Homo-oligomer: A and B are copies of this chain.
Amino acid sequence: MTHVQHTGEIGCLKVSSKSPPASVAGAIAGMIKDSVAVDIQAVGAGAVNQAVKAIAISRGFLSPIGIEIVCVPSFADIVIDGEFRTAIRFAVEPRDAAAAAQVSAGAAAQETPVE
């Protein structure tokens, strides 16, 4: 039950506290433009901060070409070097995709045959 299931692909980006936000933003924008849903994974406050900055910057890349994005943060239990850590995952997707899912659900519910 993932909210990005309506897109064809999912790209995964691992962001650290040393990741340059502008570079990550470029990667996000590129994938979104190619209709690839993006999952960003970050462990630790520094990494989460860089991820959020990257998403904010990527909005500036995508907005001029008419793509508005939203993100959905969630927790993920992962194992790093044999230790359990809690990561933050950001699902980044076009607002349209979220809307499209709603629209098609609504259309299916409301649709009536014309003839």
Where the two chains meet, the residues of A that have a C-beta atom closer than 8 Å to any C-beta of B are: 3, 17, 44-46, 48-49, 52-53, 55-56, 59, 68-75, 88, 95-96, 98-103, 106
* Contacts beyond the supplied A3-B68, A99-B102, A102-B102: 6 A-B pairs with Cβ under 8 Å: A17-B45, A48-B48, A56-B74, A69-B72, A70-B98, A103-B106
User: In the complex, what residues of B have CB within 8 A of residue A102's CB?
Assistant: 95-96, 99-100, 102-103
Instruction: Identify whether the interface residues of A are mostly helix, strand, loop, or mixed.
Output: helix
Chain A to chain B contacts (Cβ below 8 Å), 16 pairs = A17-B45, A45-B45, A48-B52, A49-B49, A49-B88, A53-B73, A53-B75, A59-B74, A70-B95, A71-B71, A71-B72, A95-B98, A99-B102, A100-B102, A102-B103, A103-B106
